């Protein structure tokens, strides 16, 4: 089902959503820096930054999340209380790469044996409104990783910016719940044509040549490759790429307590931090940047694919854009794919 | 949805210092709730996350065996924040646990075979669970010969001394204990585990070997097992890595595409051979 | 500490073992009265103060911090108080630049013979901090200081 | 041309084995940026570049390569970091060979991005101008208007400590603008200052890029990572974020060269240099010390003068 949402009505549309839902959307914190946050009023929503620094994963898997709280009272043993989600949620303005990434994390956090209830509960109760990318960046390579700037997979509703209006597609059962909405007007063939035109133009812009196809097999042969001795050299070991990555999902669990009250909290963690794998004995199975860089890349392009059948990279380009030393994951993939002894081998910087 | 991160309450029934250096303490935990007790089923080699609220959580192998119905036992090496708290906690207090976690020893695979158990230091906990499991009359016929080689730096550092004495008296288990430095009362062997293993040279015929101990011991024992013609498929070890969630979500304990917490902690050497040496 | 109305300043005092702590002791044995708002932590030397101690105290709920050591030239370790003085000066200026009010962290030299001075210092510091009111900036409100970053 | 001389010099140093490794800047995939390059062969020297985008403080890599004889490409600020590290005895075996380039001050890429609409695909320098191209635009900007704040307030742009100096020294500026944010904050009330600080740090995601980009942050265990004692929690609570940034900056007292690498590394655009610049002003004011200028002077917090200012002590 396809509709047209006039931009003049957009704030009203959001206002209505806020009546019934918790709404999450990109918010600008300062010029050039946006993150996904819970919205209190429509004016906060800012869709201008194509890739907000922090991805939409934060809506389902916040960087700091209280798992449960407890109070210790005498010999009674602690009373434990969990947080519950009160209202249905909407994620608005997430780009196809971020939405794809949510399904990648979902595969880990749900599963036959154990389900991460915190993630699963939020996922279940969230309707996702995707937004197509009219102007992909030069660092975008979603089309190389199986997605695209208008990939609708995972979206319940999908918006395309037509200039004065949004073209609205309802894609799933959750999306169909929006079919009666006073701000949606039936889309006409002109809208459809314009949408297609924008989609085609954007899709052509995205880099399809990053060699992701078959990377798992190639990396199988590279576990002990001298490549890793060089690849990590310029990495300074900060957590920018992993924290901003929409598919990275490692976390740390700690207790924070004062006297008798406390909480168990989980926080994002990064495999690039030395203490991530440091054991109490002092032994560190990944003692240098070499092993840690290898872990980061292998997890995305070899380990995860072995377990779930696709790469854990959606080509959003955040790790390229925000790396303090310009570690370019695309070039690492090119290197891993180059035939030994051929020209591009030495290119990795 | 059941929340796998919520600990179930246990009560500390008894605690005992095991070793002369006072760094190892065995906790005996009883279930607070009847229904938890009934639903808790495990096999030797599995582990639990023990929680002290306010301090945190840490993983420990279950040292009791499934046939000991009354209590779960854990032996804690005092090293960090949580383990220190577990050393200080008094009988009667509440401890949270999550588990059982991990795969445990491949007891189906062991069925009908001989078992060679090699342990060093305080890594003997889940091995004790395994041996106790098979020594129980109900299970004794499941494996044939049981040989245990257990070493520690000093006699005082051996775990479960009373039990070792009992095992020594039995004729359906061969127990060899060894220490690096003996004392005047020491009657066992003196020497490093790999050398003792070489000396007693157990047959690899229809035998599975299980090694747990410090990395250095494993490193030198493994070639001895190879020399005794144990195939990699029949050598098992239980790995330790820094862990948080224990259920394959938080990420940090992976070795290649496998997670120590979920796909391990018990791995065969045939498996480990194919993985990066991230441990 | 109850409601603001009944608020009493909570002040943490780091006293060096050789001078200021003995000074406090002397104040006690001489029955010199001083305001009961301070909690004392004895440290070997005022040079031992890691700025983290002060920050941790402020974050953890005290309204002010007093650091006291031996007079210049009297340090048991010869120069510990001199080294500490530089750390104190820069930290104090830096925290004030960030907006922690002047007077929240204070410093004094109190010798073992200065029981009376000790009581005066404590009274003054308490008065200053009472005037500033409870520390609001930087303080962790409770154990539940963490908001989930989603909201 | 500086870049050409740099390449030749690097080639020579590697050919005659004066150094094992040269760490410098190279072109890479993004406009307005360069990337650290690690060159081991004379042929590799041709990938070295020098321009207004050489923003990293490569001194930070010396900890990683302490076993090698390293030739390091340095600006004035970077060289001051090396001096500060030498004072802390960081190079007992192989002090690095410094290839210094008088700095023309660097262009703030974030500022340039804000000045145009659309993605920048290409940026080239032409004299005092910066030609910036995107898909639908092409503008030339005055380089002078887009310099980093830390570069604007930099007084010592020539790396006089360098063993090899490439290009002509630039003028030492005796009187420079104070850091704009420091002066701005000094005019505010304590409440305003705290809320400015807290607003900045509230964006922190604790990736520690500021720490890792800084040559002076080389502790084996950072206070944030310590579990015994646990100084701060790992969450994003405003109080813990403020704690981290206070201590990260304060640990630089008398050690910061003012290079601004911390601020540039921050993906969340948190202003950080005003913290360290303020501390730099304090140590200059209190103890007459400037980081990396006097190679023999002890770091101010590891020494004392019996006559030090103590008016603040009761």
Q: What ipTM does the predicted assembly reach?
A: 0.92
Q: Cα A347 from chain centroid?
A: 29
Q: How far apart are CA B61 and CA B64, in angstroms?
A: 9
Q: How is residue C84 written in tokens?
A: 């500490």
Query: What is the DSSP-derived secondary structure letter of residue D301?
Result: G
C52 shares contact with chain D (CB less than 8 Å)? yes
CB contact (8 A) between residue D283 and residue C124: no
Chain A partners of B5 at a C-beta cutoff of 8 Å? 67-68, 116-118, 253, 264
For the domain that residue B91 is a member of, what is the CATH number? 2.40.30.10
Residue B122 lies in domain: 115-229
Closest residue on chain C to D248 (Cα)? C52
Q: Which residues contact residue A34 at a Cβ distance below 8 angstroms, ignoring those fewer than 6 apart? A: A26, A27, A28, A46, A49, A52, A53
Predicted confidence at residue C3, as pLDDT, reads: 56
Q: Is residue B279 part of a domain?
A: no
- Reported as a single tens digit per residue, the pLDDT across D17-71 is 999 999 999 999 999 999 999 999 999 999 999 999 999 999 999 999 988 999 9
Out of C143, C144, C146, closest to residue A64 by CB: C146
Choose among C114, C135, C142, C145: nearest CA to C65: C135
Sorted by where each begins, the domain ranges of chain D are: 2-108+147-299, 109-146
Q: Are D92 and D110 contacting, i.e. CB atoms less than 8 angstroms apart?
A: no
Phi, psi of A312 (to 5 degrees): -95, 50
* Last residue within a domain, chosen from B101, B130, B146: B101
Q: Which residues contact residue A85 at a Cβ distance below 8 angstroms, ignoring those fewer than 6 apart? A: A121, A122, A125
Neighbours of chain A (3+ CB pairs under 8 A): B, C, D
Query: What is the DSSP-derived secondary structure letter of residue A204?
Result: H
Sorted by where each begins, the domain ranges of chain A are: 2-205, 215-347
Q: How far apart are CA B148 and CA B131, in angstroms?
A: 8
CB pairs under 8 A between B and D: 5
Interface of A with D (CB under 8 A): 29-33, 53-54, 63-64, 135, 137-139, 230, 233-234, 236-240, 242-244, 252, 254, 256, 265, 267, 270, 273, 275, 289, 320-322, 324-326, 328, 330-331, 349
Per-residue pLDDT of chain B (279 residues; tens, 9 = 90+): 689 999 999 999 999 999 999 999 999 999 999 999 989 999 999 999 999 988 999 999 999 999 887 789 999 999 989 999 999 999 999 999 998 999 999 999 999 999 999 999 889 999 999 999 999 999 999 999 999 999 999 999 999 999 999 999 999 999 999 999 988 889 889 999 999 999 998 899 999 999 999 888 988 999 999 999 999 999 999 998 889 999 999 998 999 999 999 998 999 999 998 888 887
Out of A53, A138, A233, closest to residue D268 by CB: A53
Q: Is A22 left (phi over 0), alpha (psi -120 to 50) or beta?
A: beta
Q: Is residue B260 part of a domain?
A: no
Q: How is residue B41 written in tokens?
A: 């089923």
Predicted confidence at residue C140, as pLDDT, reads: 82
Whether pLDDT at C150 is above 80: no
Output the DSSP codes for B224-243: HHHHTT--GGGEEEE-----
Chain A partners of B249 at a C-beta cutoff of 8 Å? 108-109, 114, 116, 249, 251
**Helices and strands per DSSP (H, E), number in chain D:** 10, 8
Q: Is residue B240 part of a domain?
A: no
Out of A33, A325, A328, closest to residue D268 by CB: A33
Q: Sign of torsion, CA D187 D189 D192 D194? A: positive
C-contacting residues of D 199-228, CB under 8 Å? Answer: 223
Query: What is the DSSP-derived secondary structure letter of residue D34?
Result: -
Q: Is B182 exposed, middle or buried (0-12, 13-18, 19+ CB in 10 A)?
A: middle
Per-residue pLDDT of chain A (349 residues; tens, 9 = 90+): 899 999 999 999 999 999 999 999 999 999 999 999 999 999 999 999 999 999 999 999 999 999 998 887 765 667 777 778 889 999 999 999 999 999 999 999 998 889 999 999 999 999 999 999 999 999 999 999 999 999 999 999 999 999 999 999 999 999 999 999 999 999 999 999 999 999 999 999 999 999 998 899 999 988 888 889 988 999 999 999 999 999 999 999 999 887 778 899 999 999 999 999 998 888 899 999 999 999 999 999 999 999 999 999 999 999 999 999 999 999 999 988 875 544 444 455 5
Q: Is residue B261 part of a domain?
A: no
Mutate to test the interface with C, among D178, D184, D190, D303 (most CBs of C within 10 A): D190
What does DSSP say about strands A157-161 and A165-170: parallel, antiparallel, or unpaired?
antiparallel
Rg (CA), chain D: 20
């Amino acid at each position: 089902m396809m509709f047209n949402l006039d931009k003049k009505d957009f704030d009203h549309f959001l206002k209505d959503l806020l009546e019934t839902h918790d709404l999450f959307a990109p918010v600008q914190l300062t010029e050039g820096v946006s993150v996904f946050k819970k919205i209190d009023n429509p004016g906060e929503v800012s869709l201008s930054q194509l890739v907000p620094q922090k991805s939409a994963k934060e809506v389902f898997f916040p960087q700091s999340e209280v798992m449960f709280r407890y109070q210790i009272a005498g010999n009674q043993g602690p009373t434990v209380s969990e947080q519950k989600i009160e209202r249905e949620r909407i994620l608005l303005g997430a780009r196809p790469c971020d939405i794809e990434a949510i399904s990648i994390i979902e595969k880990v956090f749900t599963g036959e044996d154990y389900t991460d209830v915190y993630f699963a509960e939020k996922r279940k109760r969230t309707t996702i409104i995707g937004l197509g990318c009219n102007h992909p960046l030069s660092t975008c390579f979603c089309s190389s990783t199986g997605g695209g700037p208008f990939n609708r997979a995972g979206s319940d509703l999908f918006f395309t910016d037509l200039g004065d209006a949004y073209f609205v597609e309802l894609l799933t059962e959750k999306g169909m719940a929006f079919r009666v909405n006073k701000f949606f007007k039936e889309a006409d063939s002109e809208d459809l044509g314009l949408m297609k035109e924008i989609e085609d133009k954007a899709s052509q812009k995205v880099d399809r040549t990053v060699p992701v196809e078959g990377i798992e097999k190639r990396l199988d042969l590279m576990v002990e490759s001298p490549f890793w001795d060089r690849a990590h050299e310029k990495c300074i070991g900060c957590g920018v790429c992993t924290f901003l990555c929409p598919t990275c999902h490692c976390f740390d669990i700690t207790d924070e307590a004062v006297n008798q009250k406390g909480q168990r909290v989980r926080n994002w963690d990064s495999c690039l931090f030395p203490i991530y794998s440091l054991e109490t004995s002092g032994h560190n199975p990944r003692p240098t940047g070499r092993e840690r860089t290898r872990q980061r890349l292998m997890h995305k392009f070899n380990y995860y694919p072995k377990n779930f059948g696709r790469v854990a990279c959606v080509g959003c380009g955040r790790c390229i854009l925000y790396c303090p030393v310009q570690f370019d994951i695309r070039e690492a993939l090119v290197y891993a794919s180059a035939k030994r002894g051929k020209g591009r081998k030495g290119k990795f910087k | 949805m059941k929340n796998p991160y919520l600990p179930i309450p246990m009560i500390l029934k008894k605690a005992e210092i095991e070793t002369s250096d006072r760094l190892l303490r065995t906790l005996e935990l009883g279930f607070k709730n009847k229904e938890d007790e009934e639903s808790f089923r495990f096999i030797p080699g599995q582990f639990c996350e023990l929680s002290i609220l306010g301090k945190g959580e840490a993983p420990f192998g279950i040292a009791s065996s499934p046939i000991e119905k009354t209590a779960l036992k854990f032996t804690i090496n005092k090293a960090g924040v949580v383990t220190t708290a577990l050393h200080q906690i008094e009988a009667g207090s509440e401890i949270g646990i999550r588990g059982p976690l991990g795969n445990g020893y491949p007891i189906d695979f062991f069925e009908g075979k001989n078992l060679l158990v090699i342990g060093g230091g305080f890594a003997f906990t889940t091995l004790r669970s395994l041996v106790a499991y098979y020594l129980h009359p109900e299970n004794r016929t499941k494996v044939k010969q049981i040989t245990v080689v257990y070493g520690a730096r000093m006699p005082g550092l051996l775990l479960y001394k009373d039990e070792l004495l009992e095992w020594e008296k039995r004729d359906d288990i061969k127990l060899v204990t060894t220490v690096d430095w003996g004392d005047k009362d020491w009657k066992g062997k003196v020497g490093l585990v790999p050398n003792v293993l070489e000396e007693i040279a157990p047959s690899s015929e229809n035998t599975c070997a299980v090694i747990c101990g410090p990395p250095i011991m494993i490193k030198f024992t493994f070639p001895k097992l190879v020399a005794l013609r144990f195939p990699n498929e029949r050598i098992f070890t239980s790995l330790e890595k820094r862990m948080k969630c224990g259920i394959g979500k938080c990420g940090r304990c992976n070795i290649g595409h496998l997670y120590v917490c979920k796909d391990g902690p018990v791995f065969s050497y045939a498996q480990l051979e194919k993985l990066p040496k991230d441990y | 500490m109850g409601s603001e109305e009944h608020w009493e300043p909570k002040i943490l005092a780091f006293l060096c073992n050789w001078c200021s702590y003995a000074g406090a002791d002397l104040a006690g044995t001489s029955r010199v009265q001083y305001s009961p708002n301070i909690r004392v932590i004895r440290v070997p030397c005022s040079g031992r103060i890691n700025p983290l101690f002060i920050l941790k105290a402020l974050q953890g709920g005290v309204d002010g911090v007093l650091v006291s050591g031996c007079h210049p030239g009297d340090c048991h370790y010869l120069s510990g108080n001199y080294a500490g003085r530089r750390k104190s000066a820069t930290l104090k200026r830096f925290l004030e630049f960030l907006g922690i009010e002047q007077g929240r962290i204070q410093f004094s030299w109190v010798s073992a013979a200065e029981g009376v001075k000790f009581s005066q210092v404590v009274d003054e510091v308490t008065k200053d901090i009472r005037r500033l009111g409870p520390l609001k900036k930087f303080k962790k409100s409770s154990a539940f200081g963490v908001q989930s970053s989603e909201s | 041309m500086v870049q050409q001389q740099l390449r030749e010099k690097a080639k020579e140093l590697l050919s005659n084995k004066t150094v094992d490794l040269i760490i410098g800047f190279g072109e890479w995939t993004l406009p307005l940026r360069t990337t650290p390059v690690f060159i081991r062969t004379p042929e590799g020297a041709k990938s070295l570049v020098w321009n207004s985008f050489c923003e990293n403080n490569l001194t930070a890599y010396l900890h990683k390569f302490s076993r090698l004889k390293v030739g390091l490409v340095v600006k004035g600020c970077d060289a001051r970091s090396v001096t500060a590290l030498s004072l802390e005895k960081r190079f007992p075996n192989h002090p690095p060979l410094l290839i210094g380039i008088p700095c023309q001050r660097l262009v703030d890429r974030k500022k340039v991005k804000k000045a145009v609409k659309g993605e920048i695909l290409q940026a080239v320098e032409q004299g005092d101008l910066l030609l910036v191209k995107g898909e639908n635009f092409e503008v030339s900007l005055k380089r002078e208007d887009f310099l980093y704040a830390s570069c604007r307030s930099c007084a010592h742009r020539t790396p006089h400590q360098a063993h090899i100096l490439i290009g002509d020294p630039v003028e030492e500026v005796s009187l420079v603008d104070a850091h704009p944010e420091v002066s701005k904050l000094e005019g505010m009330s304590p409440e305003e200052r705290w809320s400015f600080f807290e607003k900045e740090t509230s964006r922190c995601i604790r990736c520690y890029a500021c720490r890792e980009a800084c040559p002076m942050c080389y502790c084996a265990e950072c206070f944030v990572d310590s579990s015994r004692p646990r100084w701060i929690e790992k969450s994003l609570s405003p109080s813990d974020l403020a704690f981290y940034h206070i201590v990260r900056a304060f640990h630089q007292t008398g050690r910061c060269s003012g290079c601004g690498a911390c601020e540039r590394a921050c993906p969340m655009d948190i202003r950080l240099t005003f913290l360290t610049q303020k501390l730099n002003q304090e140590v200059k004011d209190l103890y007459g010390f400037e980081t990396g200028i006097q190679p023999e002077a002890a770091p101010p917090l590891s020494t004392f003068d019996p006559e030090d200012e103590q008016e603040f002590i009761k």
